Amino acid sequence: MYELFEHTADLGLRATAPDLDTLFAEMAQCLFTAIVEAPATIRSERPETVEVAGADREYLLFDWLKHLLYKFDAEHQVYGRFEVKVRDDGLTATVWGEPLDPARHLLNHEVKAITYHELKVEPTAGGWAAEVIVDI
C-alpha cells in the first residue's frame, strides 16, 4: 500500500508492506504515481534488470528510487511493474515499462530529486514502512 503525502513545497512518498521486497516495489510504484497522473496507462512491456548495491537499507531505498528517476529524466522511461529482491548487501530488481509517450502519459509532477530529509525504512507491527520526501 502506498500514498503521496504533503510537505510544504515538496511531496512525500510513503508505503507499508509485509516484507522489504514488496516495500521497495511499492515505493517505486509510488514514485511513478508522483511522476505520471494515471500510472495505469504505463504498459509493462520490456523487462529490465536493475542492480543496486548498499548495506544501509535507507540509502538502498534512496539509491533505488534515484536510479528510476534517472531512467525517467535522462532516458525518458516510465515503469509500471516492479519485482524486487532485497538482500543484506543490495538489491536486484526486474522492472517493466516503456518509453514515455506524451500522447498517453499525462505528467503529474516534475520530480527533481529524491531527498534524504526524513528518509525512513522501519519495521512495523505488520511488516515494514518507508517514507521519503522528493523535491519538486
By CB atoms closer than 10 A (0-12, 13-18, 19+), residue 113 is: middle
The candidate with the shortest Cα–Cα distance to 118, out of 133, 136, 96, 99, is 133
Is residue 46 near another protein by the rule CB under 8 A?
no
Given candidates 66, 90, 96, 129, which one binds another protein under the rule CB under 8 A? 66
Grid-cell match 532485497, residue found: 86
Alpha-carbon span 3 to 44, nearest angstrom = 21
Given candidates 1, 18, 19, 37, which one binds another protein under the rule CB under 8 A? 37
**Could you say which residues in the range 114-133 bind another protein, by CB under 8 A?**
114-119, 133
Is residue 38 near another protein by the rule CB under 8 A?
no
Q: Residue 26 gets which letter from DSSP?
A: H
Is residue 110 near another protein by the rule CB under 8 A?
yes
- Indicate the residue among 18 and 53 with the shorter CB distance to another protein: 53
By CB atoms closer than 10 A (0-12, 13-18, 19+), residue 90 is: middle
Given candidates 49, 88, 102, 126, which one binds another protein under the rule CB under 8 A? 102
Chain positions contacting another protein, by CB under 8 A: 4-11, 35, 37, 59, 63, 66, 70, 72-74, 76, 100, 102, 106-119, 133, 135-136
